[in-house]
Structure formats: C-alpha cells, structure tokens
C-alpha cells in the first residue's frame, strides 16, 4: 500500500480568527473545493465542531468527512468517514497561525492507496485543487 502526504501552506490578508471561522464552516468549503459541500451532521457543542460531518460532492462520488479534533483558531483535524474509493486512512489537519501578511494555514493530508499509480494521481489532483481553492479566498 502506497502512503501519500500533501503539505500546502498559504498566507492570507485576514486575521487568524476570520480565516479559521471561514475554513471551519462546512457550508463555506464549496468555495475552496469548487464542488458542493454541506454539513450533514452537527458537531458536539458547535455545529462545525468535533463529530460534525460534511458531505463533499454529489451522488456516488461523494465522500463524507468527520471532524475529529478542533482547537479554535489553532487547528482542525478530520478524516474521511464514508466513501473515498481507492483512498484509505485519509486524515487531514489544518493548522492556523499568524504571519507577516495576517494569517497562515498549513494543510496536511495523509492517505493510503492500495493501487500503486492511483495514490500519486489523487495526490496531484488534491494538491492542485486545494492550492487553487485557497488562492480564491486569499
């Protein structure tokens, strides 16, 4: 099984709290990914918090991600909890910090793929999609 790691760092002209609020809101993530994203289950204590579930995409290609940890204005951890096709053990983390421009997000994704060539292709597509999406909201 091939393990893949994606690491993306993007600076923003926004305060950390504003960036965190935007990227932690499931219903805003469609602007980043360019596909439909909606919250399908509220989290504990916060609708977008731990235990919340978002659905990305439509029909049989959609995946669901569950938020596993949140530290307000610092980090969000999540995992694919349903779907994902040839992707296994998909885990993501967004870390927020201040920067000379205002704020920074460091987005790390790790996943396995049992198919040797599929992992690098998914990595390339996700990397490009997230980079472009973050630039749209920068």
Locate the domains of the chain by residue range.
2-137
Pick the CATH number of 2-137 from 1.10.286.10, 1.10.10.10, 3.30.70.980, 3.30.530.20: 3.30.530.20
Q: Quote the pLDDT of residue 60.
A: 86
Q: Quote the pLDDT of residue 54.
A: 97
Scored b (16 or more CB within 10 A) or e, 87-126 reads beebebbbebeeeeeebbbebebebebeeeeebeebbeeb
Q: Quote the pLDDT of residue 116.
A: 80
Confidence of residue 115 (pLDDT cuts 50, 70, 90): confident
Q: Quote the pLDDT of residue 117.
A: 86
Q: Which helix (H) or strand (E) holds 129?
A: helix 118-137
Q: Read off the pLDDT of residues 89-108 as tens digits, 9 standing for 90 and up.
A: 999 999 999 998 899 999 99
- Does residue 138 surpass a pLDDT of 80? no
Q: How far apart are CA 30 and CA 114, in angstroms?
A: 28
The dihedrals phi and psi of 108, each to the nearest 5 degrees, come to: -120, 135
Mean pLDDT in residue range 72-83: 97
Q: Read off the pLDDT of residues 13-62 as tens digits, 9 standing for 90 and up.
A: 999 999 999 999 999 999 999 999 999 999 998 999 999 999 999 988 89
Mean pLDDT in residue range 59-71: 95
**Gyration radius from the chain CA atoms:** 14
Q: Are 136 and 32 in contact (CB under 8 A)?
A: yes
Q: Chain-centre distance of CA 83, in angstroms?
A: 15
């Amino acid at each position: 099984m091939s393990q893949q790691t994606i690491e993306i760092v993007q600076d923003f002209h926004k305060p950390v709290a504003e960036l965190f609020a935007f990227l932690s809101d499931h219903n805003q993530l469609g602007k980043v990914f360019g596909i439909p994203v909606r919250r399908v289950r509220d989290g504990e204590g916060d609708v977008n918090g731990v235990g919340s579930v978002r659905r990305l995409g439509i029909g049989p290609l959609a995946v669901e991600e569950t938020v596993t940890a949140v530290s307000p204005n610092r980090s969000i951890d999540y995992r694919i909890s349903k779907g994902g096709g040839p992707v296994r053990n998909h885990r993501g983390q967004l870390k927020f910090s201040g920067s000379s421009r205002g704020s920074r997000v460091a987005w790390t994704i790790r996943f396995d793929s049992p198919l040797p060539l599929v992992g690098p292709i998914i990595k390339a597509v996700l990397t490009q999609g997230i980079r472009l999406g973050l630039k749209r909201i920068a």
